[in-house]
Amino acid sequence: MTLPQLALSSLAIGLVIGVGLSLLVVWAYRARARVQEETSLAIPPGITDVLHSMDDAAGVVDTSGLVLAASDAASRFGIEVGSTLDNPELRQLVRGVRTAGGTATESMRITRGGLSLDPRLVSARASAIGTRLVLLIIRDVTEQERLDQMRRDFVANTSHELKTPVGAVSLLAEAIESAADDPAQVRIFAARISAEAGRLGQLTGRIMSLSRLQAEDGLTKVGPVAIDEVIASSIEAHVVQADSAGVELARGGDRGVWVRGDAQILIEAVGNLIANAIVYSPRGSRVGVGVRAEDGVVEIAVSDQGIGIAEADRERIFERFYRADEARSRRTGGTGLGLSIVKHATQRHGGEVRLWSRPGRGSTFTIRLPRIDAPEHADTGKKSKKKRARKAAKAAASARVRNGERA
């Protein structure tokens, strides 16, 4: 082999060795990076910022179930940085994603903050971010489930409630036809048809009122409202009912209190409570309507000395069509929507309804509303305002049956 050939051979061998060493170094670096990636618990850049901007509960969990990062809302479910993922269903979801990779979503019921009495329906989504970390996102869908259930119940209950008076009218019409030669029976059946038609009109009217309250534009005439006028109009609209039942209506408490809202809706809400109290009060008893203003809140309390409400019924008393005393409500023509209207009317005015009751001692329903200062023109035109409010109350009273219902 000549000297040039030897030099070329040495150069080729050196080049092969150099390329081999370079490839070996690159492979070693890549293997090291892969091992670091597999064993690293570092959160990828930007994940923490995204978590802090999320409204849903979310967190990054490692292989041992330790929470490395979490959103602000995650604390509601006991998911906090430095704590372990306690819920077994969530741990199973995270474990399955870490093993198989990709993303998985499951619906489950978990508790908030360790409160076993407050289970929440959630949609949990787990996504692998690396070999050791999993991003867990929990979306609370309990309210959506509740609204869906309420919608189904409302349709079912409304169909049932409307079917009863419609069926009764149909049967009574047939009875009138068969008794056409008996004027006395015709008059009896006609009176019963009139009663069923009134009940049907009351039911549809209350359904429409409740639908308007739940609509986005439920409050159409918003402005300063004098509680004195609301109480006076509500009491005046039920004087005849109280006299017929032998119940005394009494008004007390603070005067000159104002709120912001729709006067007619508030009159109907307070009127429903007064009608309820009259229906469930014994003859010779008293129904009191009191007003108290304190710390920016106006409280309108309607108290009776009636049969009271059992503890088992208090949680559901404001539900649509729910009746604590089914037989009594049927006898008095109650629709089961009065208290639901009171609840929604109060909520639309930024307030709440509270209940105190003892079986055999009576009940007190309290409407709490935000208080406002009296407008500058409060003293001018006061009588005309009261007159208009009373006319509106009388018009509303004539459009509905004066008997109330507790649920």
**Tens digits of per-residue pLDDT, 143-199?**
788 777 767 766 766 666 677 677 778 888 888 888 888 888 888 888 888 877 777
Name the pLDDT band for 364 (thresholds 50, 70, 90).
Answer: very high
Name the pLDDT band for 219 (thresholds 50, 70, 90).
Answer: low
* pTM for this entry: 0.51
Quote the distance between the C-alpha of residue 35 and its chain's center: 51
Residue 366: pLDDT over 90: yes
Give per-residue burial for 208-230: e unless 16+ CB within 10 Å, then b.
ebbebbeeeebbeeeebbbbbbb
Name the pLDDT band for 201 (thresholds 50, 70, 90).
Answer: confident
Q: Tokens standing for 95? A: 């474990």
- Letter for the amino acid at 183? P
Residue 135: pLDDT over 60: yes
Quote the distance between the C-alpha of residue 76 and its chain's center: 19
pLDDT digits (tens, 9 = 90+) for 300-314: 999 998 888 887 777
Residue 380: the pLDDT is: 41
Q: Which of 38-42, 163-167, 270-274, 348-352 has the lowest mean pLDDT?
A: 38-42
Residue 369: pLDDT over 80: yes
Mean residue pLDDT across the chain: 78
Q: Which long-range contacts (CB under 8 A, 24 or more apart) does 91-99 make?
A: 91/65, 93/124, 93/126, 93/136, 94/61, 94/65, 94/126, 94/134, 94/136, 96/126, 97/126, 97/127, 97/128, 97/134, 98/63, 98/128, 98/131, 98/132, 98/134
Q: Mean pLDDT over residues 351-357, rounded? A: 89
Please name every residue paired with 226 in a beta bridge, in sequence order, or none if there are none: 258
Give the number of residues written for the chain: 407
> Are the C-beta atoms of 180 and 186 separated by less than 8 Å?
yes
Please name every residue paired with 371 in a beta bridge, in sequence order, or none if there are none: 259
Angle at 354 between CA 352 and CA 356, to 5 degrees: 175
Residue 109: the pLDDT is: 86
Residue 396: pLDDT over 90: no
Residue 367: the pLDDT is: 92
Name the pLDDT band for 403 (thresholds 50, 70, 90).
Answer: very low
Q: Mean pLDDT over residues 253-269, rounded? A: 89
Q: Which of 106-115, 218-227, 269-278, 303-312 has the lowest mean pLDDT?
A: 106-115
In Å, the largest CA–CA distance within the chain is 141
Return the beta strands (E) in 311-394 as ranges: 352-358, 362-372
Alpha carbon distance 267, 41 (integer Å)? 63
